[in-house]
Amino acid sequence: MAFKRKETVIEAIDLNTITPEDGEKRITAGVKKYATNEANWSNADANTPYLGSIIGMGIESSNLADITMSIERQFLTKRTKRVPVSADGSEFKLEEGELGKLRILDGQDALAATPGLSIKMLMDLGHMPKNNAYLTKVVSFAYITTVGDGYKLSDALKKMVGKIEKLAGSERDEAVANLKAMTAQAKTYLDQLSDAAKLAASRQKTFAGDKAGYDSLSKELGVVTDKLKGLSASGDAAQIASLRAEEAEIRTRLKMSAAKLRVSEEVARQAGSRSAVEEAKVAEIKRILSETIAAAERC
């Protein structure tokens, strides 16, 4: 039986006939029912994160897939022709074909943390024409997460300052020690933010970890391949079949590892340079956090 969707019927629109700004508005409207922070959702722009409640729309992790599915439902694309990329046809890429339903494949939305980044994703995947003027207004994933961290730090510091004012004696002393540690952490964050190269270096660590994981898995595959080579003359059919299954599983894991590596590589690359809109976001969080640090140091 075909599954009957319960939501309102949405008339999907060809991505090639709308402006990025129109697409962005439709995307934001589409996630309304998942947003738990109404104020942030109402004032959302291209750079408002879907997740998080301080500056984000407050969408919960259980509705992450709904963001992507909502985008898929609203738009049509010409990239609908499935071209197999694996021998068994289980994996495919989408190429130009008849106008049809938009399909976002596993992992393609990993960096689409805001409506603007969702539009960028659609442009990168060739579903809509590239619009550089629009993209200059979009903050990269690396800076969305970094700036988001700053707001969280500032929020935590403010709450701690408020808490300390009500405490006395040894409780206050311990809370002040915590506040000092948080202030030091905030200063380190500000220092890192002062230089794009420093931020890139810290993101590079994640990339290096992912790269080591990928290399390790490649070695694991090498060992299984060697075992298969060594066993091929033995005629042990059961063992060969078991190793073939293990080899296929490692190849699948290797593809996943490569996909994850591409994400961390992209984030490390993005962190190394700043556009004007990113500079503005960085300046804003630096100002806010500096004020909070000053208030904390008065405690």
* CA Rg value for the chain: 24
Is residue 246 a contact residue for another protein (CB under 8 A)? no
Please tell me whether residue 185 binds another protein under the rule CB under 8 A: yes
Q: For residue 3, give the 3-state DSSP assignment.
A: coil
Among 190, 231, 288, 299, binds another protein (CB under 8 A): 231
- Cβ atoms of 125 and 18 closer than 8 Å: no
Residue carrying structure tokens 């694309």: 77
Interacting residue with another protein among 16, 19, 136, 178 (CB under 8 A) = 178
The full length of the chain comes to: 299
Quick one: how far is CA 126 from the chain centroid?
19
Report if residue 201 touches another protein, rule: CB under 8 A: no
Q: Quick one: 107 or 126, whose CB is closer to another protein?
A: 107
Give the C-alpha separation, 143 to 123, whole Å: 19
In 3D space, the residue among 276, 292, 288 whose CA is nearest the CA of residue 143 turns out to be 276
DSSP alpha helix (H) spans, the chain: 20-30, 38-42, 64-74, 115-124, 132-135, 141-164, 169-193, 196-231, 237-271, 276-297
Q: Which stretch binds another protein (CB under 8 A): 13-21, 74-82, 169-177, 193-201?
A: 169-177
Q: Is 160 in the site for another protein (CB under 8 A)?
A: yes
Give least dist CB 112 to another protein, A. 9
Residue from the set 140, 257, 270, 292 that interacts with another protein by CB under 8 A = 257
With CB under 8 A as the contact rule, the residue among 81, 180, 244, 251 that binds another protein is 180
Taking the complex as a whole, the smallest distance from the CB of residue 171 to another protein amounts, in Å, to: 5
Footprint of another protein on residues 127-156 (CB under 8 A)? Answer: 145, 149, 152-153, 156
Classify residue 113 as exposed, middle or buried by CB count within 10 Å of its CB (0-12, 13-18, 19+): buried
In the complex, least distance from residue 217 CB atom to another protein, rounded to whole angstroms: 7
- Binder among 230, 273, 287, 297 for another protein (CB under 8 A): 230
Within residues 74-133, the interface with another protein by CB under 8 A covers 106-107, 109-111, 113
64 binds another protein (CB under 8 A): yes
18 or 228: whose CB is closer to another protein?
228
Name which of 68, 154, 62 is nearest 113 in CA terms.
Answer: 68
Which residues are within 8 A (CB) of 78 and not within 5 positions of it... i.e. 6 or more apart? 16, 96, 97, 98, 99, 100
Count of residues that bind another protein according to CB under 8 A: 71
Q: Per the structure block, which two tokens stand in for 112?
A: 């689409």
Q: Is residue 163 a contact residue for another protein (CB under 8 A)?
A: yes
Q: Using CB atoms within 10 Å of the CB of residue 70, give its burial: 0 to 12 exposed, 13 to 18 middle, 19+ buried.
A: buried
Candidate segments 126-134, 167-175, 271-279, 284-292, binder of another protein by CB under 8 A = 167-175
Q: Of these, 39, 99, 167, 241, which contacts another protein (CB under 8 A)?
A: 167
How near is the Cβ of 253 to another protein at its closest, in Å?
5
Positions in 12-31 near another protein (CB under 8 A): none
Q: Which of residues 269-298 bind another protein (CB under 8 A)?
A: none
Per-residue CA distances from 12 to 68, 90, 99 (Å): 14, 27, 11
